[in-house]
Amino acid sequence: MTVSLALWSVCVQPGEDGVAAVSPPADIRVTNIALSDQLADETGRTTVKLNYIVPNAEDSEDEEEDEDEEDENPPRMETTVLCSLTPGKIEQATVDVVLTQDDEFLIEVVGKNSVYLSGNYIDQTPDDVPYNDDSEPESDEEDFDLSMDPEEMDGISDDADRFEEIQEESAPVASKKRTREADAETPEKLTKAQKKKLKAESGAAVPSGSDAKVDAAKTNGDAVKDKKDKKEKEKEKKPETRTLESGIQITDVTVGKGPQAKKGNTVNMRYIGKLANGKVFDSNTKGAPFSFTLGRGEVIKGWDIGVAGMQAGGERKLVVPPKLGYGAKKSGPIPPNSTLTFEVKMVDIK
């Protein structure tokens, strides 16, 4: 997984040299090359070349030899064309080239116009993003073959105990059966139709009496009321989904307690990340929780926006559109333009 850290740019001037030497202190991803706003040649083409060193395959053996002995196979320089720009036709080009840390590169301009190269410093192996707990995957399949079946994790409210910290027991359900004492007081004289409706716990007909109609009506009324109360409680328990202006969908499955998380807080999280087809691509459900500082850009925008406002112990479902996730580029097992679903739990706030 790659995280952008800071903006990077360089201007290469034409001339006898027409070369800029770059030895980055961190990995750089070059994403755009454009002509300068001031043109020395309004019709001529300007070509941008990248000269880079190809390591010798025998370097490791050479390091073991005596330092005074000359290297018979020195590294060689290769050249590739990044783009060609012409005013009025093609004045900028999108590229995707990574200049690796501490390596040496020469950017060469052939033509009369200055060019600007821009991009970002990147971290290709961060420890503080929602990926795997210990290390980057060796392949898309092996590291994401979780022991937990994705179908067993569908519905965060149905499987709340999958996080280590959740240990909730279901409350005992009160019995709705009538006591034998109440049945024993049922009056006599009921019609046959009424006798069929009034049954004791054993299944036998209840003796009839003058007040049986009132008792039957009360029993039926209580049953209707209990059914209505049950539906209202289920409706109250069902979490509501809200969509923010950014496009992210938030569902608070469980509301936590204490202060709400805000920008600058360090939060410890559990999470399960899924693709649109339900496949789990990443998770943190045990061991050390995933920790990051809210609102600092340490995670995808969908997390900075979606986790804000949660309380300790709270659980939330986030549906993150591509523009707030990993965008139009493939990231590990995540295809381009993917809508992602995260089931998250806030362990605590610091």
Question: Does 179 fall in a domain?
Answer: no
Residue 122 has pLDDT above 80, yes or no: yes
Name the residue range of residue 216's domain: 186-237
Residue 32 neighbours by CB under 8 Å, 6+ apart: 92, 93, 94, 95, 117, 118, 119
Domain check: are 293 and 228 in the same one?
no
> What CATH number did the domain enclosing 37 receive?
2.60.120.340
Is 143 domain-assigned?
no
Residue 19 has pLDDT above 60, yes or no: yes
* Same-domain status, 268 and 161: yes
pLDDT: is 286 or 1 the higher one? 286
**Residue at 163 is within a domain:** yes
Highest averaged pLDDT of the listed ranges 98-102, 207-211, 306-310: 306-310
Question: Of the given ranges (10-19, 88-97, 230-239, 330-339), which has the lowest mean pLDDT?
Answer: 230-239
- 214 and 297, same domain (yes or no): no
Highest mean pLDDT among 20-34, 203-217, 286-300: 286-300
Helical segments of the chain, H only: 59-64, 180-184, 192-197, 212-237, 301-306
Residue 309 Cα distances to 203, 241, 303, angstroms: 55, 15, 11
Whole-model pTM: value is 0.37
Question: Given the structure tokens 């991009």, which residue do they identify?
Answer: 119
**Tokens 């990044």, residue located:** 82
Residues 288 and 225 in one domain: no
Residue 335 domain flag: yes
**Res 230: pLDDT:** 76
Poorest-confidence range of 72-76, 147-151, 195-199, 249-253?
147-151
Give me the mean pLDDT over the 247-274 stretch.
95
Over pLDDT 90: what percentage of the chain?
39
Quick one: pLDDT at residue 302?
94
| C-beta of residue 73 within 8 angstroms of C-beta of residue 2 | no
Q: Is residue 141 domain-resident?
A: no
Please determine, for residue 148, whether its predicted confidence score (pLDDT) is greater than 50: no
Q: Are residues 18 and 77 in the same domain?
A: yes
Backbone angle region of 347, left / alpha / beta, with phi > 0 → left and psi within -120 to 50 → alpha: alpha
Q: What is the pLDDT at residue 285? A: 93
Mean pLDDT along residues 208-233: 65
Task: Give me the amino acid identity at 54.
Answer: V
**pLDDT in the model for residue 159:** 52
> Do residue 154 and residue 264 come from a single domain?
yes
Residue 303 and residue 248 share a domain: yes
330 part of a folded domain: yes
Please indicate, yes or no, whether residues 154 and 302 belong to a single structural domain of this protein. Answer: yes
Residue 137 domain-assigned?
A: no
| Residue 119 located in a structural domain | yes
Quote the pLDDT of residue 141: 43
CATH number at residue 306: 3.10.50.40
**Between residues 36 and 73, the one the model is more confident about:** 36
Query: Given a cut of 60, is residue 60 above it in pLDDT?
Result: no
Could you tell me the pLDDT band of residue 20, with boundaries at 50, 70 and 90? confident
Same domain, 226 and 332: no
Are 41 and 98 in the same domain?
A: yes
CA distances from 123 to 3, 29, 289 (A): 5, 10, 21
Residues 174-179, mean pLDDT to the nearest whole number: 50
In this structure, the answer to whether residues 231 and 246 fall within a common structural domain is: no
User: Known catalytic residues?
Assistant: 271, 281-282, 300, 326, 342
Number of domains the chain contains = 3
261 and 323 share one domain: yes
- According to DSSP, the β-strands at 280-284 and 266-274 are antiparallel
Average pLDDT over residues 256-265: 94
